[in-house]
Homo-oligomer: A and B are copies of this chain.
Amino acid sequence: MIHEHSKLLLWADLAGTFLFAVQGALIAVPANLDLLGVMVLAFSTALVGGIIRDVLIGAVPPASLRDWRYATAAFTGGVIVFFLHPYVRSIPAPFIMTLDAAALSLFAVAGTEKALLYKMHPFIAVLLGAITAVGGGTVRDVLLAQIPNVLRSDIYATAALAGATVMVAATKLRVPPALAAVSGGLVCFLLRVISVWQHWNLPKAFTG
């Protein structure tokens, strides 16, 4: 078991945690959840993707439960949205979407890096990077008794997969770690932002 993080991993995780918690709480409030429910959705959106990754690679207790700062970051995001909801909601949607795309990229890259650290096969590391990035939002939607949005529309998990793939490929090509991470993150971020702007979607199966 590896008990140290790379610094990159730690800070990427903490920054993304706060951003995802805010976004999870913003979805919890209109669903008529109480204070506890908002906190649980903030926590789930922010941390459950990484927790699933850590459980699957055998890094238990998960990083986000070994360091109290992760849960604190998530609950801080949740509390801010709970008490300042009308103000937070008045933030323009494109700004929220851009922050969310940044968090998505951070999580995809951090998740992929950790999976590679734990010697996972490159193909599996890509999947684990994407699970880190979208697993929390998926569980959030399940808790709201909805089909996870990520399964139906938008280039969201796809952007995470693309970023993770770039990062794994760059790592295999012996690109320095920081550059590999930045490249992967940038691909994820740009693909997400451009796809929202251009209304891109994945195809659905021809059922005729």
**Chain A contacts to B: CB under 8 angstroms:** 28-38, 40-41, 51, 55-58, 60-62, 65-68, 71-72, 81-83, 85-86, 118, 120-121, 123-124, 127-128, 138, 142-148, 150-153, 157-158, 201-208
Q: Which residue of B lies closest to A25 (CB)?
A: B205
With both chains docked as a complex, state the minimum distance between the C-beta of A32 and any C-beta of chain B, in angstroms: 7
Ranked nearest first, the 10 interchain pairs of A and B with the lowest CB-CB distance are: A37-B151, A58-B60, A34-B202, A29-B205, A35-B202, A85-B205, A68-B123, A82-B205, A145-B147, A33-B151
Contacts of A35 in B (CB 8 A): 202-205
Q: Are B56 and A158 in contact (CB under 8 A)?
A: no
Query: Which of A31, A33, A67, A72 gathers the greatest number of chain B CB atoms within 10 Å?
Result: A33
By DSSP majority rule, is chain A's interface helix, strand, loop, or mixed? helix
Residues of chain B within 8 A (CB-CB) of A40 are 151, 157
9 contacts between A and B (CB under 8 A): A33-B147, A34-B152, A35-B202, A36-B202, A56-B60, A56-B65, A68-B124, A142-B142, A142-B143
Contacts of A60 in B (CB 8 A): 55-58
CB distance from A27 to the nearest CB of B (A): 12
Inter-chain contacts of A55 with B (CB < 8 A): 55-56, 60
Bound-state Cα–Cα, A55 to B58, Å: 9
Complexed CA–CA distance, A33 and B124 (Å): 23
Docked pose: A208 CA to B62 CA in angstroms = 38
List 4 extra interface pairs beyond A34-B151, A56-B65, CB under 8 A.
Answer: A29-B207, A41-B151, A144-B147, A145-B145
Give the residue of B145, B204, B208 whose beta carbon is less than 8 angstroms from that of A32. Answer: B204
What chain B residues lie within 8 Å of A38 (beta carbons)?
Answer: 205
